[in-house]
Amino acid sequence: MASKVLRDWPHAPAHRLGDAGAYSVTAGTYKKAHVFSTPDRLAYLTDALLTLAEEYRWRLQAWAIFSNHYHVVAESEQPAFLKRLVQYLHSITAKHVNLLDETPGRKVWFEYWDTYLTYQNSFLARLNYVHCNAVRHGLVAVPEQYPWCSAGWFAREAPRAFRATVMSFPSDKIAVPDDYEVLPLK
């Protein structure tokens, strides 16, 4: 009998959520459209993410929300809930912006990519990457200035030594889908 081979479909990233721990998630809008291009829409998406993460038992460690994509680093003892969290987040936020734009049924979200973080260095690099993403995109000079990410919260709440470690950790070589052009703050 031939062994069963697990194949990844070429049209979508594989989501293998078996082990408890930390995951990095990136999601993008369909055709990279700037659907969340106003402060109110960014705030809505951020609030929805924070609320649903708690509801689905994901402890957010870092997040950055932009007009056409977002990044999250989170931990869970029940990683299978991630798929439901993302599906529900995408469903309610798509309905919300489609109602605002009077475009019922418009496709808003494209896909999401998740990575299980098994090494401390990978975890630290992704925390740095997400906290500093608004700077990388040229939106702000200092991460804490971007209101729709966790950098300000991290600066206030994290122990000083841990924050210094994360913020100095190299993150330029991690593989994160992030070829998005973002809109400047209004």
Distant-in-sequence, close-in-space partners of 68: CB < 8 Å, separation ≥ 6: 28, 29, 32, 33, 34, 35, 36, 180, 181, 182
| φ/ψ of residue 58, rounded to 5 | -110, 125
Q: What is the mean pLDDT of each run of 10 residues along the chain (186 residues)?
A: 42 47 93 96 97 93 96 88 92 98 96 89 94 94 96 94 92 80 78
**What are phi and psi for residue 62, nearest 5 degrees?**
-160, 145
H helix runs in the chain, sequence order: 39-55, 81-101, 120-131, 133-136, 151-157, 160-168
The helix or strand, by DSSP H or E, that contains position 70, with its residue range, turns out to be strand 69-76
Cα–Cα distance for residue pair 160/163, rounded to 1 Å: 5
126-169 residue pLDDT tens: 999 999 999 999 999 999 999 999 999 999 999 999 999 999 99
Go through the domains of the chain in sequence order and give each one's CATH number. 21-168 (3.30.70.1290)
Hey, how many other C-beta atoms are within 10 angstroms of the C-beta on 144? 17
Could you tell me how many residues make up the chain? 186
pLDDT of residue 172: 83
DSSP 11-46: TS------S-EEEEEEEEEGGG--TT-SHHHHHHHH
**What pLDDT score was predicted for residue 9?**
39
